[in-house]
Structure 1
């Protein structure tokens, strides 16, 4: 709950910290590879289908994987478990949503940001309960330096999946880059509660703790 309050308190101020679109962009190094489907300029948006998003057995599998992630101290093994969690998150349960996610990722890799955003806007409109759709759009907004919009989408992703370590680490990164070190530290600590072996989070907690300890009061 505190993480959500942090986002709500800060997202409205981030427009002042964000750089305009067209400035140097940041590409997510952990973005999943695009699927075989690729968008065409005149492609029609696929129809809405009736397949329910996120089956119960998928939720049970996620619970098992998160339990394993929390008790896995070895970073290499933990990454394997985390990748399995990502695989579950990417399964929307809808063929058309999965297709648009693949198209958006291909457009993002090709730096066709407007096209990627169009697809992801469709994803979150058609599947508002699909957390990874919001997280993917948050990543795109971050890449475009639209930090406030990224924060808003992170908030939605975390409301749907509070354990989303990708969204949590993205939140921590934005907070740190915009000078909110204490809030960034709390977000990284929350990330470690979910994913204790994440080395980037461990290093960030140590660094920020040291920086804040040395900061003048």
Structure 2
């Protein structure tokens, strides 16, 4: 009986160790679900706070090394070094292919470098992984607008407004494109 108890403890420890990240992920998902739900009807100051909290959560990969790559990639973009940003963010997407924000960040870097095809492909991947990421959807709208697809851009901005009605200038983007895409009354 002593042998069974000795063998059971390491097995139990392994099961608990493996289930802890899954439990944390489930708790994070439930927390994000609640935040998204609250965001839909929050007044502007509360919506801004919730939106920032959601973006902060979406920027956490679960790995300090991957978080550092994201941070450095964003810093390179802010400094105007899109080549370095693409290099850092490519390392991130290579090592953490399930991390949606890595794909989103690299799509922004590609767009800034004028590489619209790769930017669109990365946005597609980011939104496949996280279809509620309003910042990525907004980036999609901006990219579609840039390549001359105002109707699709309007649709993307409409999705952003449904998730986060007070996000950046989504209302202005919708108003700007409304006449061009929705026609006018006679």
TM-score, scaled to structure 2: 0.81
Match of 1:60 among 23, 27, 30: 30
Give the length in aligned residue pairs.
165
Q: Say whether residues 1:203 and 2:175 are aligned partners.
A: no
TM-score, scaled to structure 1: 0.70
Which of structures 1 and 2 has the larger relative contact order (alpha carbons within 8 angstroms, sep 6+)? 1
The CA distance in 2 between the partners of 1:168 and 1:210, in whole Å, is 21
Secondary structure of residue in 2 paired with 1:55? helix
The CA distance in 2 between the partners of 1:78 and 1:142, in whole Å, is 27
Match of 2:69 among 92, 100, 110: 100
The question of whether the paired residues in 2 share the 8 Å contact of 1:52 and 1:94 is answered with: no
The aligned counterpart of 1:152 is 121
Runs of 4+ in structure 1 deviating by more than 4 angstroms, as ranges, are 51-54
The CA distance in 2 between the partners of 1:78 and 1:55, in whole Å, is 24
The 3 A distance-change label for structure 1 pair 146 and 52 is: farther
Please provide the CA RMSD for this pair. 2.1
Larger relative helix fraction: 2
The aligned counterpart of 2:39 is 69
Give the unaligned 5+ runs of structure 1.
1-50
